[in-house]
A and B are shown apart, each in its own frame.
Chain A
Amino acid sequence: MFTNTDDMAHNLLITKPGAREAVVQAALQLAEKGPAQNYIPNTANVLWSIPVIGPDEKATLSFTAPAKKGVYPYVCTFPGHGFVMYGAMYVTDKQELPDIGNDLNIPESRRKENGAAGKTTGHGAHTAKPAHPYVLKPPYLYRVFIEGAGPAAIAVRLPHQLSYCWDAGSCRLRFAWTGDFVDNSALWAGHKDATAAILGEVFYRDKTAYPLRIKDPGVIPATAFKGYRLVDRYPEFHYTIDGTSVYELIKPEADGSGLVRTFRIPGAAYPVWFVFTPGDGIKYTSSAGSWEGNKLVLSAEEAGSFVITMTRDK
């Protein structure tokens, strides 16, 4: 049973051993006659086939497996697909099949994806092949899709095995973690429903409606992302809250025990509040302003530049 769960049309051919490439070429030679023949060439090299089926269609092929031992390729010969979309059926009396990572009968991309030898994680000790033509030294960042944030997320690697996710959609720090950084291999391969995998333990998530308020502590401000600049390679985010520019730079604490967030709101014309959710696993201290429970209130002048240190609870 062949169910096409993809968004393109596909067929399925099983060929004689070693005949896959010849069949793919023969299918391409059909040129404009291809559609009428379902891109299935008239050749004895094709043992069995399922014609082209569209997205979400199903087709069934019944056949008796060949008695003769061998590696029988299966392949989609829809134009362009045959070079990357294939696999192998083994007729064998052995109990075990070859390791996928080293099996030359399947496409390179699949070998890399599934094979133990070809596991491609993001960085460091996990990396089989370098991810980039340069060595990454924290701080650095990736814009990614990542679980727990909106689709315009920024994952930032800091020294001390610390990382955080800043959301450029909602203009806020979303969460932070310790351990390794992220594995982007599924994202980089263009896989469907891919996200960057977090390779560590999340120790903080912002559960407030929004952490900053201006003029009125009861009103969630409207935000807009303006970008970031790199300061000694650390990103300083620039965004607006109700039209007032905010600059936010996040660094690790010197001993790696938490995050140091430096805010600048140079044009603040009103008081500013910083809000957290009690019991979120973080101890908050500030360089300016005064705390009222879970709210820090800063005068417009104090909001010009202030630091909030977020230390992990022991």
Chain B
Amino acid sequence: MGRHANVMTMKWSFNIFVLALMVLAACADPGKPELPAESYKIDTVPTPDGLTAEVGGLDFLSDGRLIACFIRGEVMIYDPKTRQWTLFAEGLQEPLGILRVTDSEFLVMQRPELTRIKDTDGDGQADEYENATDDFGISGNYHEFNYGPVADKEGNLFIGLNTASHGGGILPELRGAFNKDGRDGDNGRKQMYSVVPYRGWIMKLTPSGKLEPYCSGFRSPNGLGFDLEGNLFVTDNQGDWVGTSPLFHAEQGKFYGHPASLVWEEGWTKGNPFELPPAELDRMRSKAAVLFPHGIMANSPSEPRCDITGGKFGPFAGQLFVGEMNQGRIVRVMLEQVGGEWQGACVPFADNIGLRKGNNRLVFAPDGSLWVGQAEHGWLGDAGIQRISFTGRTPTDVLQMHITGKGFDLEFTQALDSSGANPANYQVRRYRYEYHKKYGSDQIDVQDISVNGAALSGGGKKVSLSLGELSPGYVYEFKLGDIKGRDGTPLANKTICYTVNRLREGGAQ
């Protein structure tokens, strides 16, 4: 039986191969070089011998050279033209973010502080390490990672402060005031905790140098990024109070769900926030714009980077790309605002093209390629830097997704053949995640949703789906079937998860 099936598969593959050759032959224009078969390709960037290339941060200089900081404290510059690395700075503690200020001045987020590193004598190496801010607490807990910085258009900087892990203790000497109410129970061995100021917060550093608490409720916000319009988005990691990893639209004064950080809210009088009824915490919190279903989309999302390339990286200009630590994947996010609230869909990107695990940091190069820095840091991942570039062949993929009164509109990068109009090619189910102190959440209220219609329009690029049911508070998961573009190319990705916070008012559009 097995052998028979193999023979059948081979025959079928052979037929597809012949068909593909025929299509290519028919399209071939002798005057133009043929496009490669793949839309995206991966190059691995060589790193120096002796470097533990666990990447904490990436950015580019104005001349196209890369700056990178690594977990062991090095800041190095890579020239893609010569493929040579040079050392810029050293001795930092676990730097997890870097931002170019000028070609000789960078901001680096390390354990003890945000540091402004400058080469003032022009010899190519840093000689000044200024404290840009250290106005936040450190307990010495191993999990108090610091993330960022990212800059808004007004010159404010934003950083993220991880909570402490109950898997570890704190040092005898702390920096900052101690508040035992920031942890659950006397020994804090139950949930992530915040016993020194602003752990679990996103902080704003004003141009005058004042560090202000911005928004709270984060557990492990390993990724901050702005979209083209200046909206700040922050990822978090599944765990206690985080049913599945989310992407938040981070706004001043809001609380995003993990209770520990609440003790540092100005005027907080409610004691230990872990003792508040979960229903009260649930009412206080702002929900995620997008949920990344665990085991399906991402288990440990990292930095969100907006595609600023204006098309050089393919058809997804303006969208967010989010790193994933647990698998060889980047997640692409398609956002929209409905009733004033952000929501949207996520879809795998760059699966099966040779991307390693541990995708911790992303940055777009001036040439429009996406550079990905990897880390493991005692966890699942990898080390090194890879570069994803667009080959010029447009993938057949979902480009935008919008909720409608009766379902969803999917816009594709190119026209679909009639397979796009077959409702059987869209398998839909919906589920939600519980908000509770337990580590993670199962999918609950799982329900298959019928697809009552799939109408093609817009020259074959748009599919309007009518669903049997549409409710807020759920992730709608789409498994797309054997849908092809008119040129015969199959879909690049077949799983899409849309987080419905609000329904569109006014019914069908």
A interface vs B, CB < 8 Å?
A: 5-9, 30-32, 34-36, 54-56, 79-81, 83-84, 109, 129-134, 140-145, 149-152, 168-169, 184, 187-195, 225-230, 235
Q: Within the complex, which residue of B50, B140, B167, B439 is in contact with A133, where a contact is CB–CB below 8 Å?
A: B50
> Contact: B295 with A34, CB < 8 Å?
yes
> Contact: B129 with A190, CB < 8 Å?
no
Residues of B within 8 A of A34 (CB): 295
Q: In the bound complex, how far is the Cα of B72 from the Cα of A129, in angstroms?
A: 14
Residues of A within 8 A of B239 (CB): 7-8
Residues of A within 8 A of B296 (CB): 31-32
Q: In the bound complex, how far is the Cα of B129 from the Cα of A235, in angstroms?
A: 9
Residues of A within 8 A of B138 (CB): 150-152, 169
Q: Within the complex, which residue of A36, A132, A195, A227 is in contact with B72, where a contact is CB–CB below 8 Å?
A: A132
DSSP majority for the B interface?
loop
Residues of A within 8 A of B94 (CB): 187
A143-B73 CB under 8 A given contacts A36-B442, A152-B138? yes
Q: Does B299 contact A (CB under 8 A)?
A: yes
> Contact: A225 with B131, CB < 8 Å?
yes
Residues of A within 8 A of B299 (CB): 79-80
Q: In the bound complex, how far is the Cα of B48 from the Cα of A138, in angstroms?
A: 22
Residue of B115, B300, B379 contacting most chain A CB atoms (<10 Å): B379
Q: Within the complex, which residue of B134, B166, B192 is in contact with A225, where a contact is CB–CB below 8 Å?
A: B134
Residues of B within 8 A of A193 (CB): 142, 168-169
| Besides A151-B174, A192-B142, 20 other A-B contacts (C-beta < 8 A) | A31-B296, A32-B296, A55-B166, A56-B189, A80-B325, A132-B50, A132-B90, A133-B74, A134-B87, A142-B93, A145-B171, A150-B173, A151-B112, A152-B111, A152-B175, A168-B131, A169-B112, A189-B378, A195-B171, A226-B131
Q: Does B275 contact A (CB under 8 A)?
A: no
DSSP majority for the A interface?
loop
A184-B72 CB under 8 A given contacts A32-B296, A132-B50, A227-B128? yes
In chain B, what residue has the closest Cβ to A134? B87
Q: In the bound complex, how far is the Cα of B91 from the Cα of A140, in angstroms?
A: 8
Q: Does B216 contact A (CB under 8 A)?
A: no
Residues of B within 8 A of A141 (CB): 91
Interface residues on B, range: 35 or more
> Contact: A83 with B90, CB < 8 Å?
no
> Contact: A132 with B168, CB < 8 Å?
no
Q: In the bound complex, how far is the Cα of B174 from the Cα of A150, in angstroms?
A: 6
In chain B, what residue has the closest Cβ to A167? B173
A123 vs chain B, min Cβ distance (A): 12
B interface vs A, CB < 8 Å?
A: 48-52, 71-74, 76, 85, 87, 90-94, 110-113, 115-116, 120, 126-131, 134, 138-140, 142-143, 165-169, 171, 173-175, 189-190, 192, 239, 293-296, 299-300, 325-326, 376-380, 438-440, 442-443
B163 vs chain A, min Cβ distance (A): 10
B326 vs chain A, min Cβ distance (A): 4
> Contact: A169 with B175, CB < 8 Å?
yes
Q: Within the complex, which residue of A55, A56, A143, A151 is in contact with B173, where a contact is CB–CB below 8 Å?
A: A151
Q: In the bound complex, how far is the Cα of B112 from the Cα of A141, in angstroms?
A: 14
A56-B190 CB under 8 A given contacts A188-B72, A194-B142? yes
Residues of B within 8 A of A134 (CB): 50, 87, 90
Q: Within the complex, which residue of A83, A109, A230 is in contact with B127, where a contact is CB–CB below 8 Å?
A: A230
> Contact: A143 with B93, CB < 8 Å?
yes
> Contact: B50 with A228, CB < 8 Å?
no
A29 vs chain B, min Cβ distance (A): 10
Q: In the bound complex, how far is the Cα of B72 from the Cα of A6, in angstroms?
A: 24
A166 vs chain B, min Cβ distance (A): 12
Residues of A within 8 A of B74 (CB): 132-133
Q: Within the complex, which residue of B50, B73, B87, B115 is in contact with A142, where a contact is CB–CB below 8 Å?
A: B73
A228-B295 CB under 8 A given contacts A131-B72, A134-B50? no
Q: In the bound complex, how far is the Cα of B236 from the Cα of A213, in angstroms?
A: 45
> Contact: A143 with B111, CB < 8 Å?
yes
> Contact: A143 with B92, CB < 8 Å?
yes
A275 vs chain B, min Cβ distance (A): 20
In chain A, what residue has the closest Cβ to B174? A151
> Contact: B129 with A227, CB < 8 Å?
yes
> Contact: A133 with B49, CB < 8 Å?
yes
Q: Which 5 A-B pairs have the closest CB atoms?
A: A192-B168, A190-B378, A7-B167, A143-B93, A130-B50
B38 vs chain A, min Cβ distance (A): 24
Q: In the bound complex, how far is the Cα of B139 from the Cα of A184, in angstroms?
A: 19
Residues of A within 8 A of B442 (CB): 35-36
Residue of A56, A140, A152 contacting most chain B CB atoms (<10 Å): A152
B49 vs chain A, min Cβ distance (A): 6
Residues of A within 8 A of B326 (CB): 79-80
B275 vs chain A, min Cβ distance (A): 18
Residues of A within 8 A of B168 (CB): 192-193
A5-B91 CB under 8 A given contacts A31-B295, A132-B72, A168-B112? no
Residues of A within 8 A of B142 (CB): 190-194
> Contact: A109 with B300, CB < 8 Å?
no
Q: Within the complex, which residue of A5, A129, A143, A228 is in contact with B112, where a contact is CB–CB below 8 Å?
A: A143
Residues of A within 8 A of B128 (CB): 227-230
In chain A, what residue has the closest Cβ to B117? A227
B242 vs chain A, min Cβ distance (A): 12
Q: In the bound complex, how far is the Cα of B85 from the Cα of A133, in angstroms?
A: 10
Residues of B within 8 A of A8 (CB): 167, 239, 439
Q: In the bound complex, how far is the Cα of B144 from the Cα of A152, in angstroms?
A: 13
22 A-B residue contacts at CB 8 Å? Answer: A7-B239, A35-B443, A55-B166, A79-B294, A130-B49, A130-B50, A132-B72, A133-B51, A133-B76, A134-B50, A143-B92, A149-B173, A151-B138, A151-B175, A189-B377, A192-B142, A192-B169, A193-B142, A225-B113, A229-B120, A229-B127, A229-B129
In chain A, what residue has the closest Cβ to B380? A80
B104 vs chain A, min Cβ distance (A): 14
Q: In the bound complex, how far is the Cα of B139 from the Cα of A247, in angstroms?
A: 27
Q: In the bound complex, how far is the Cα of B300 from the Cα of A81, in angstroms?
A: 12
Q: In the bound complex, how far is the Cα of B189 from the Cα of A134, in angstroms?
A: 40
B70 vs chain A, min Cβ distance (A): 9
